[in-house]
Structure 1
């Protein structure tokens, strides 16, 4: 059987997807600082709407410049579902939930999302659940909860807040699984742009709140809201879609467990919040779990078909 060079097109495609996933987790981690600033001046719905409008405008301009048309009919159902669940409902529920619970509870509940992605992906998309993925996710989940608990203040938790965080995790998982098939028919830019637009339309009932709060909000909070729309939404969701099109939903979900570790580092650098020993241990666990979940056994790494054909469980690189 022909041996495939590790420096061939398949390897380059994997590296590009890994880089795209890396951009996503870095920008999503950076959103932590911006949300803390914007969230003091904007209510959950208004913040979600402002973020989505900024993201949709940015993506719309890029689509016009690239002459991207409407997504194919086969992709529209997935785009609609992911737009409603992930871009719309998830952002509002998460913004609201995190105002009701302490950081430790939020970490425990919201980080159930990647686990649900793996389970739903296996059930609905036929994704595999290799032992390394499950073990890595267990380690990362423990690390995410450790980080959250170590960074919690004295705030309490309400039943409403826990329910909102749980609903956000479920919406996140369902949105990712709905988005995956759409990427087989449409480009990552199309899927992200129209998903963001659907989310913005779903949040239009918060227009009155947004208009009223913009007038009173400090410029720093408004700039942070715009930043959330341009970078952690427009750019990061596009790089996420690019990477998701080239791997399984479960592995992409597991990758997001790197976010808590990066949040610790960014909070240290940007906010002067020096992490304690328990926080550092939790961050290290998050990164270790991601490394395990994204690794493959020797047999799997070399398990390609004839003439360098990709393995069946790998998404093909659309031209």
Structure 2
């Protein structure tokens, strides 16, 4: 990657990792639904401003695009955020980051089912390795006790993210990436609107530092993080950019240790490592296949 793309990718990794720490911190004062609404509302406004500044022409989505947009917005931005926020009330930030980042493996499985990419042997092996990691994470958290519901919520978030990516992929060939991101974020905001009364109540009693953390979550990991991701992705291959997301759990663990004093249990760390190894194994085949095809 060129220097500018590498810097943008690094910014994305740090911002996305910091989101896990911010969510964990904010869980003490804001419940999952209101926190999701606040984050997405701020992100939608700032992404809209970015579109205006860039002066990109707005392309009207076709009828076939709307089901994909709705799937991406409802699942990736709506369900994902609510499930992750709820999970981090039960699991530490590092464990949550490790568990959620089996999403690339789920994307590969869904692509095999829906896009005709098949199920090569490395994908099957990688799936088994990652499943072993999930079992280890489920067996232990930073408190040393099983938090089954937290693991289920993280898996729900990972699955929602994976489906969102698969539904987003066809859109990017017909609509600008920035527009797709903004519309999906706006749809996710609409999904979370029922939490508006609760958000008003909780914000009214929240501390000033909490409000600043909420703004950070919406402005930086959401609006800026997705923008730097798009910048880097437009200047390098998807495989290289995908590999950078493997660093998110590690950075999240370091940030959670520095800022929150949280350290995942040994089994959770080993489980997270197995999840990432499983993802790497499954992706190795696709990268070799891509080179052979070229």
With the shorter chain as reference, the TM-score category is 0.7 to 0.9
Change (3 A) 1:43 1:255: same
Deviation string, structure 1 residues 10-68 (Cα, Å, up to 9, x no partner) = xx58x877765554333221112211221111111100000001101110110000112
Residue number in structure 1 paired with 2:54: 66
Question: Which of 17, 21, 32 matches 1:44?
Answer: 32
CA contact (8 A) 1:102 1:155 kept: no
Residue number in structure 1 paired with 2:175: 186
Question: Which of 80, 83, 92 matches 1:93?
Answer: 83
CA contact (8 A) 1:32 1:263 kept: yes
Q: How many residues align?
A: 289
Deviation at residue 241 of structure 1 after TM alignment: 5.2
Matches within 5 A, 1:69-148: 69-74=57-62, 75-100=65-90, 110-127=100-117
1:167 aligns to 2:156 (yes or no): yes
Instruction: Name the CA distance, whole Å, in 2 between partners of 1:147 and 1:50.
Output: 29
Change (3 A) 1:138 1:234: farther
Unaligned runs of 5+ in 1: 1-11, 305-310, 312-319
Deviation at residue 167 of structure 1 after TM alignment: 3.0
CA contact (8 A) 2:39 2:218 kept: yes
Instruction: Name the CA distance, whole Å, in 1 between partners of 2:152 and 2:137.
Output: 21
Question: Which of 205, 208, 218 matches 2:207?
Answer: 218
The Cα RMSD (Å) is: 4.0
Bigger share in helix: 2
Tell me, what secondary structure is at the counterpart of 2:238? coil
CA contact (8 A) 2:58 2:179 kept: yes
Instruction: Name the CA distance, whole Å, in 1 between partners of 2:66 and 2:49.
Output: 20
CA contact (8 A) 1:255 1:290 kept: no
Change (3 A) 1:205 1:246: farther
Deviation string, structure 1 residues 150-190 (Cα, Å, up to 9, x no partner) = 6521565365x555444333222211110111111122211
Instruction: Name the CA distance, whole Å, in 2 between partners of 1:156 and 1:214.
Output: 32
Question: So what's the TM-score if we normalise by structure 2?
Answer: 0.77
Residue number in structure 2 paired with 1:152: 142
Deviation at residue 143 of structure 1 after TM alignment: 6.0
CA contact (8 A) 2:139 2:146 kept: no
Deviation string, structure 1 residues 118-171 (Cα, Å, up to 9, x no partner) = 110122123466656666676667667767866521565365x55544433322
Question: So what's the TM-score if we normalise by structure 1?
Answer: 0.72
Higher relative contact order (CA 8 A, sep 6+): 2
Deviation string, structure 1 residues 193-252 (Cα, Å, up to 9, x no partner) = 11111111111111101111111111121111111111211122344456399537xx94
Instruction: Name the CA distance, whole Å, in 1 between partners of 2:22 and 2:132.
Output: 25
CA contact (8 A) 1:264 1:279 kept: no
